[in-house]
Structure 1
């Protein structure tokens, strides 16, 4: 059972897609498109992640889509971590169609200050997510990794999922600083990391698997297979690579398809019930 722990769906009108550099992926991506990619890459199940629209209606729609799509085993929805009514927001999602498939909450922390996760109101939100039995999913920049380590230490009862290995600046050659910061994050046993989004941190036009090797090998060393998950980051990845190319690159770098990385860790972390 191969599980992709990180993909999106969206429509062409998402505001962030209006960046001219993203013209190649500025279109509707549907469940039919997803199924075509899954068949081509021989992937069985997925986790659908909020796609940067930053409204509750997207989460409602994604849960409904997941309910109707057997391939989607879980949803990480968007919510504002500073929402004082976050616990009630989560319960409303759970009470709706597909609500049992809600596996985690992700806010767009990457757009905030480096110490955003240190704010008292944000910490309250992280606690609300954890109290609901959901994963705290984090999309952050490398400069925000110290705050991830601090949040994970402060909330040992929460499971944190680090997307895209903290977005290392691969194209810019920022390996040493990233390794220093990711080491402190990996030292927290309640953090799980995704091998996802790396091709888009590399040079889109000329990347090779070898460009990703130091980052993948460091992640494997620091987290171990039982705290790593494969994620395609489709369709974002299509600015640089196809879904299949992403999976094949990681398989090459990992020496195959380690069952934890390509399924077991996601199933355990998100409490996926697979049929």
Structure 2
């Protein structure tokens, strides 16, 4: 099975989706399962994981409702306030829904570079394993130092880094990102998504070669057992169509064995998120 480990749905709302700036105007509209199903049919994708884009429990419920009525949406990564003193009640409530696989916070948007390490947040993270939940790490490269300290604290929690930690491809910055990604990859409970890359380059003028060094480092550091393909649809449409996004990954892994390719393109996501 080919699984897209990272995509989003939304009913566009200018206030809620204020992060969609003028340069990204092409995605200022609704994106729902009926739109994505067509794209998947054209690109031989069997299923996906829907990931939160808005930090609210309403968003979590919205995604779960979509997953319940569309078989190809295999699981949901939702949002819950992990800093809340009553977070365990929410985790218990959602545990009854088998489609809820994990959680994410938009840490990249937090002004505190050490947000991940604050006691209120780490207390919430410490509860996730008890309920069998994963956690998606969404950060910028300048936050990777905190990520390294963060994952050290939770050796038994399953983590995945979204969008290869958003390296500054447009500016050609590589070394600082690479050093920290290699250190983080030494922790075997941390996985990485080959996703969200095209939007870190120049939207209109990127070329595939720009991503080679970044993708190769991720493949080498994490290995084929801890890397998974993701599209970041519809955000990716700002810079590329779905076929181009998929090809970036399939071309990069063309020299691997069929078993390794199958893992990266689906089996790893199935295992990590416990998809049916």
Aligned partner of 1:36 among 17, 35, 38? 38
Deviation at 1:19, TM superposition (A): 1.9
Which stretch has the larger CA shift, 160-169 or 252-261? 252-261
Aligned partner of 2:270 among 256, 262, 267? 267
Which ranges of structure 1 fall in alignment gaps of 5 or more residues?
none
Partner of 2:11: 11
Deviation at 1:15, TM superposition (A): 2.7
Change (3 A) 1:176 1:18: closer
Deviation at 1:166, TM superposition (A): 0.7
Q: Tell me the SS of whatever aligns to 2:191.
A: strand
Partner of 2:232: 233
Alignment of 1:91-102 (within 5 A): 91-95=92-96, 99-102=97-100
Matches of 2:79 and 2:46, distance apart in 1: 24
Matches of 2:262 and 2:65, distance apart in 1: 29
Which ranges of structure 2 fall in alignment gaps of 5 or more residues?
none
CA contact (8 A) 1:146 1:184 kept: no
Partner of 1:84: 85
2:22 pairs with 1:20: yes
Deviation at 1:18, TM superposition (A): 4.7
- State the Cα RMSD in Å: 1.2
Deviation at 1:154, TM superposition (A): 0.7
Partner of 2:123: 124
Q: Tell me the SS of whatever aligns to 1:192.
A: strand
Partner of 2:59: 58
Matches of 2:114 and 2:19, distance apart in 1: 27
Aligned partner of 1:107 among 105, 108, 112? 105
Matches of 1:241 and 1:164, distance apart in 2: 15
Give the number of equivalent residue pairs.
269
CA contact (8 A) 1:130 1:136 kept: no
